[in-house]
Structure 1
């Protein structure tokens, strides 16, 4: 869905939904709604996404074994992440990751790893972010999903940029761009261009940055276009084109508020505060900086961070308890198997002992032929309790007959 034409997918899914509703095919309707919701989200239409996702979730909650359940959790997390609600996002993506592993859905597991890489980067936990992103890339590469691989390369490029490894970052971004251009991913290409532009901006190569920000706004969805415009405004401010910079940054703030994304609102306010400082307007700079702090507080406060940590710990504990229960059940199974074997062993030993008594009763006693005692001895040592070897002797017509056999 993410790497397809959103409008075409939405149109086909709407037609499919109508057919499913007519014949009361609930499963088909749930998947159709999930596709419509995905197309809505990737087209920056959260209202449509939330409406259809809520309806789809009613069915998936009752059918959690379906691959669509993990996909629905991931999409719901995407929406909350875009709104800056990182607590709900983390909870949903961890649930999706766990569900995909339990169901053996490698495609959803790869997506969950990629998205967890994103949320941990938002929380500045770059070690975990890179760990999940690299695992997502590995899974997608194994599945041979080129378009998904490009997405993972993009994500790793972003993480390397955030950790100031600019040369490596550009390497990953351009690998992603090559795949996306080769596969004609028109809706995904702008996101890679955005990453390249942001990297050049941090490298202070403003001319290249401006070029990529401008190119990234073509064919971009609203969320990507907004960020490209904001980046363009920051660069123009650095270059001294204050009038154009203010126009771009103000428009990006308006769009962020329209999308109800607290994270993007905070980012736009911070960019405006810096712009007013550069352009010698301290009053406006202070005003926008205060607004920025207020917006940022809603999702980056110590209380919010604490809640996020609690979500992570809760999932870790749940996972640990499940592993402990699995170990306990395996131990119970082994104990039961051991008890069965022990009981069987007792039965077998009893049978062998009984066979030994029969064998001893059948073998001749040396005392029966007293004349032989001076000239012979019998060495009969079974390895265990009973032996397959036997011996026999008797006096027949005044002669001794001796036999040994196996």
Structure 2
């Protein structure tokens, strides 16, 4: 195992030494780089931008307009995930300009649509306008593949605006195109959007029918993530129909799937809804357990950007690996001259890296332990505060009831004095004593809350 690791490090550095940024990519190599998988791009956006800048420069040198257009598109995606929205817009529109020159109107439609969809949380009205541009261009040039996503996403924006009829119309348009193309992966997404919209509108029978169709397709194609989503949707369905027991059952099923397949956003949502349901059922211990799990996953997801940033600092191999695959035929030029020096250097580097990794892991473990202790303490305090509020409410209720009874006694004693004490000093003194004692009791009672 140790020899294998050393070999991999040596191979990496040999590629690093043999590769020169002064070399120019061919158009075929440019296309290969630009076809980098989406997950690889967003996993390390800083390194991805370095690669795409290199590709952009080489494409411009060769007047390869398609390469330039796609480079701008990929760079816009990187800037979006870095929350640099001004740069995202700049590169999106430069990409659109090039695709217009190339008369690739399907890409123009897609870019307007995706940019509008990305705006939905920041400027919903602008997002709708850009999506309308993409929609019109897609319909004009009959770009059915791109329109599937545009219709679906435009429906989402309409639903956010509470324009439910329009949302339903575009969800169904997307579904029609997907069914025409027999898109087994895409069809369930549209069916679920329609079903959840119907659930919002309290159209329970129709909602159940569409959710069932989507679930059946996902079972047939064995889409594990899709199955997890649909089980979660069933949990919401039974929650809305007031069948809390079945809702708990489906959220637990969804939880098993989402944890198995590392769907953390869905896991967080499942724990949150289970906590809410168990609280409604007065099962406070289970509700608290689920709430703690929800909090843990929420914190984990909130730190995704931090972990990605750390990965960008700790992992420098990703882009070079892609470049190595593209230039594999040039891999052996400098291996003989540097192999021995590299191995010695890597042995030293491995020891240093191992030491710091072990030290870092210990620090992380200690920090995580302290954070968990703090969370438990905060949850305990929150529970105690709730109990104290309940005690205060009970005290106020008792205060009000006792006060009312004492006031009634005073009134009754005054009535007795009026009716019977006239000419009977002894009785009048006793009634006065009772009245005074009762009034003093009321004053003391007022000071207790």
TM-score relative to the length of structure 2: 0.47
Greater alpha carbon shift after TM alignment, 111-120 vs 182-191: 182-191
Q: Conserved in 1, the CA contact under 8 Å of 2:152 and 2:170?
A: yes
Other structure's SS at 1:146 match: coil
In structure 1, what is the equivalent of residue 287 of structure 2?
A: 242
Distance across 2 between alignment mates of 1:110 and 1:120? 16
Greater alpha carbon shift after TM alignment, 22-31 vs 192-201: 22-31
Measured at CA, do residues 145 and 20 of structure 1 come closer, stay the same or move farther in structure 2, by a change above 3 Å? Answer: farther
Counterpart of 1:107 (choices 129, 145, 160) is: 145
Distance across 2 between alignment mates of 1:16 and 1:235? 49
Q: Conserved in 2, the CA contact under 8 Å of 1:26 and 1:59?
A: no
Residues 1:92 and 2:130 aligned together = yes
Distance across 1 between alignment mates of 2:291 and 2:145? 43
Residues 1:228 and 2:270 aligned together = yes
- TM-superposed CA distance for 1:138, in Å, is 1.0
Distance across 2 between alignment mates of 1:282 and 1:73? 55
In structure 1, what is the equivalent of residue 423 of structure 2?
A: none
Other structure's SS at 2:202 match: coil
Normalized per residue, which structure has more helix?
2
In structure 2, what is the equivalent of residue 371 of structure 1?
A: none
In structure 2, what is the equivalent of residue 174 of structure 1?
A: 212
- TM-superposed CA distance for 1:283, in Å, is 7.6
- TM-superposed CA distance for 1:149, in Å, is 1.6
Counterpart of 1:214 (choices 247, 250, 255) is: 255
- TM-superposed CA distance for 1:164, in Å, is 1.9
Post-superposition Cα deviations, 1:221-254, rounded to whole Å, max 9, x if no partner, equal 5544443343333233324333224435545765
Counterpart of 1:80 (choices 119, 122, 128) is: 119
Measured at CA, do residues 61 and 228 of structure 1 come closer, stay the same or move farther in structure 2, by a change above 3 Å? Answer: farther
Distance across 2 between alignment mates of 1:102 and 1:198? 38
Q: Conserved in 2, the CA contact under 8 Å of 1:113 and 1:132?
A: yes
- TM-superposed CA distance for 1:29, in Å, is 4.6
Q: Conserved in 1, the CA contact under 8 Å of 2:128 and 2:154?
A: yes
Greater alpha carbon shift after TM alignment, 86-95 vs 28-37: 28-37
Q: Conserved in 2, the CA contact under 8 Å of 1:214 and 1:232?
A: no
Greater alpha carbon shift after TM alignment, 179-188 vs 86-95: 179-188
Distance across 2 between alignment mates of 1:139 and 1:124? 24
In structure 2, what is the equivalent of residue 22 of structure 1?
A: 58
In structure 2, what is the equivalent of residue 126 of structure 1?
A: 164
In structure 2, what is the equivalent of residue 7 of structure 1?
A: 39
- TM-superposed CA distance for 1:214, in Å, is 0.9
Distance across 1 between alignment mates of 2:125 and 2:38? 28
What are the within-5 Å matches in structure 2 for residues 279-358 of structure 1? none
Distance across 2 between alignment mates of 1:115 and 1:249? 28
Q: Conserved in 2, the CA contact under 8 Å of 1:9 and 1:36?
A: no
Q: Conserved in 1, the CA contact under 8 Å of 2:231 and 2:251?
A: no
Counterpart of 1:68 (choices 107, 126, 146) is: 107
- TM-superposed CA distance for 1:259, in Å, is 8.8
In structure 2, what is the equivalent of residue 136 of structure 1?
A: 174
Distance across 1 between alignment mates of 2:96 and 2:271? 38
Other structure's SS at 2:93 match: helix
- TM-superposed CA distance for 1:151, in Å, is 1.5
Measured at CA, do residues 143 and 156 of structure 1 come closer, stay the same or move farther in structure 2, by a change above 3 Å? Answer: same
- TM-superposed CA distance for 1:152, in Å, is 0.9
Where does the alignment leave 5 or more consecutive residues of structure 2 unmatched? 1-35, 306-381, 391-449
Measured at CA, do residues 189 and 282 of structure 1 come closer, stay the same or move farther in structure 2, by a change above 3 Å? Answer: farther
Higher RCO (CA < 8 A, seq sep 6+): 2
- TM-superposed CA distance for 1:198, in Å, is 1.6
Where does the alignment leave 5 or more consecutive residues of structure 1 unmatched? 261-275, 285-406
In structure 2, what is the equivalent of residue 351 of structure 1?
A: none
Distance across 1 between alignment mates of 2:387 and 2:66? 58
Distance across 2 between alignment mates of 1:98 and 1:282? 60
Q: Conserved in 1, the CA contact under 8 Å of 2:219 and 2:227?
A: yes
Other structure's SS at 1:63 match: helix
Counterpart of 1:58 (choices 91, 94, 100) is: 94
In structure 2, what is the equivalent of residue 397 of structure 1?
A: none
Return the index of the structure with the highest Cα Rg.
1
